[in-house]
Structure 1
Amino acid sequence: MIISPENLLICSTVGEVFAINKTDGTQVWNARLSGVGYGVGALFVSGSKVYVGMNGNLVALNLADGAEVWRNPLSGMRYSEVSVLVANTSSSKGSIVLVASFGKLCGIGSELGETLWKNELKGGCYYLPCLMLDSSDPDVVLVGCGKRIYKINLLDGQTIWNQKISSNIFGPPYVTMATHQSSLQAAFTHTGFNNNPVAQHARRMKDEKDSRE
């Protein structure tokens, strides 16, 4: 039985990705991400693919059957939690997968999974960036990392500007962002940790604490 993509709910936990039929709750497919660990995946569905960011890796799965299409090990991002977005640019390159982790932002080709560019987010340290697309300009992404905000060109990964918003040396090293349009979009979202995967971070912190005890 073929299930319409619009009727699939994609979920992730403990190193696996599941597709659930929203009508009756039956499982359509299950993908075990070998070699990635037992993390919680940040998910983004776009076109015919499911993009999964987990433990410093990006994996593209076929939306219809869960088969792995390609994998990018995200060199330099280590075994860290990942933020994922897919942006449709105005250029002939089509969509770009935006992946952020360990104080870095990468643009990944959506078809082949190749790394198109990498931005080191100067001054943001090695924290988890959060991402937000700008509805007024399809070729830029807004990034919060450490205590800085960056505006990045999606086509070449260059920083248009960056602004330090706090000089406080205390407090959490994360940034939250909102615009009028992003808030309207968030109203339809019941899980927002793709932009700032706190669940992944909390799991890692717990594992580190347990290892010290």
Structure 2
Amino acid sequence: MKLSKYLFTGVFMFSLAGCSLFGGEEEIVQVSPSPTVNNQFPIQQVWRNSTTGNTHIYSLLGPINYDNAIYAASRSGQVKAIDLSSGSTLWDVNLSQSTLFSSKTALFSGGVSADDKYVYVGSERAVVYALDRQDGKTVWEKTVKGEVLARPVPSEDKLIIHTASGILQGLNRDTGDNLWDVSFEVPALSLRGNSTPTIAHGAAIVGDDNGRVNAYYINDGQLIWQQRISQPSGSTEIAKLNDVDSTPVVEGNLVYSVGYNGSVVALNLSDGQPVWRKELGSIHSFAVDTNRLFIIDQNDNVQAIAKNGGSELWTQSNFAHRQLTDPVIYQNYVVFGDFEGYLYWLNAENGELAAKTQVSSSGLISKPLVVDNKVIVQAKNGDIYAFTKN
């Protein structure tokens, strides 16, 4: 059973009483109002494009950049290539299936990725598509071993897929043929989402739903190491969740990762042994700069953590339970969105809120994208925006 990552501030926003899943005691969640700020600089919308909407659906679909083009998808099956500078549409295809008597949406869910030849997107129907990057024509589509909730990751001649069934698959990127697969143990209850693998030195580094970070050779799927960073604890099922859904960050000989109800860790890339560990739980991938990790914890506090040792540098606590997106670094600011569609800029040095703008009342869920001095965001209704700081 997969629970929405925003369960606490979604279906069960105000009262969790009377449900055995959470225990017998009432638990009230207080959602902070959007903080007020006098913008320290103007935020300019450069362009806007759109895909068919996802407004009422939980979806982490977000755009990707490759070679000055933005590639984006909608849940229903639309995939677009957008010119980075102007926001104009380069090509637009729809992979939903319609006949005279019925229609079948693609249910895209796994995010979009691209390389020098193809654009890839995965779906809740356990299908992965490869499209020609130049014109959007379908090169292949293959059924894989579970819903694709994580972004497909291309590396050289392979495409690495992490499915909701706990399967890590290596596909041939030109044909979609399965080359190898490995299975993770999947608990009965987990958060809806999966870790997107990071490729480094011929290995796929990926989190699983049992609190571990894993390293596998991408050539044959052989295990290199596993390391637990989150341990089940507590008396309720929610307290026992220990998914590692973040995308690992690899720098030099270190792997940084974080788990729900767990820790943020720095692991040795060679053998997975912990270099340092700090108790801090999160569902989010984090942003990094030269010396710091910027982490949004599972209560939506924003923290800056030193890469060297994991000490806390600052915490910004004015966004409690606002269902924040993953953060990104833009110049010297930490940028993220929230469920009401606001986009925020925090000063990376001290965590001070420097500016905000409301992008779309439909809300923001997916991680913003920073490219060519622009912040690209996709709202829940499918609209895609480019902003710049003046």
* Aligned counterpart for 1:165 among listed residues 229, 235, 245: 229
Match of 1:42 in 2: 111
Question: Which structure has the greater CA radius of gyration?
Answer: 2
5+ residue gaps, structure 2 = 1-65, 98-104, 234-239, 257-287, 291-327, 337-365, 370-379, 381-390
Match of 2:129 in 1: 59
Q: Provide Cα deviations, 1:1-53, integer angstroms capped at 9, x if missing partner.
A: xxxx7232111123211111223222121121235633345111101210112
Q: Is the 8 A contact 2:197 2:205 kept in 1?
A: yes
Greater share of residues in helix: 1
Q: How many pairs align?
A: 179
5+ residue gaps, structure 1 = 89-94, 195-201, 203-213
Give the whole-Å Cα distance in 1 for the aligned partners of 2:221 and 2:368: 23
Secondary structure at the aligned position of 1:179 is classed as: strand
2:216 is the alignment partner of 1:152: yes
Q: TM-score, normalised by structure 2?
A: 0.41
Q: Provide Cα deviations, 1:135-177, integer angstroms capped at 9, x if missing partner.
A: xx2x111110011111101110111222222222424523433
CA-based RMSD of the aligned residues comes to 3.0
Deviation of 1:193 (Å): 8.6
Q: Is the 8 A contact 2:152 2:159 kept in 1?
A: yes
Instruction: Quickly say closer, same or farther: Cα 1:163–1:7, change in 2 above 3 A.
Output: closer
Give the whole-Å Cα distance in 2 for the aligned partners of 1:193 and 1:25: 16
Match of 1:142 in 2: 205
Instruction: Quickly say closer, same or farther: Cα 1:50–1:82, change in 2 above 3 A.
Output: same
Q: Is the 8 A contact 2:148 2:162 kept in 1?
A: no
Q: Is the 8 A contact 2:150 2:196 kept in 1?
A: no
Deviation of 1:179 (Å): 3.5
Identity across aligned pairs (percent)? Answer: 21
* Residue identity in the other structure for 2:232: N
* Aligned counterpart for 1:129 among listed residues 176, 195, 219: 195
Give the whole-Å Cα distance in 1 for the aligned partners of 2:213 and 2:116: 29
Deviation of 1:64 (Å): 0.9
Q: TM-score, normalised by structure 1?
A: 0.71
Give the whole-Å Cα distance in 1 for the aligned partners of 2:107 and 2:195: 21
Give the whole-Å Cα distance in 1 for the aligned partners of 2:127 and 2:224: 27
Give the whole-Å Cα distance in 2 for the aligned partners of 1:171 and 1:32: 37
Q: Is the 8 A contact 1:96 1:109 kept in 2?
A: yes
Give the whole-Å Cα distance in 1 for the aligned partners of 2:213 and 2:68: 36
Deviation of 1:192 (Å): 4.6
2:180 is the alignment partner of 1:117: yes
Secondary structure at the aligned position of 1:150 is classed as: strand
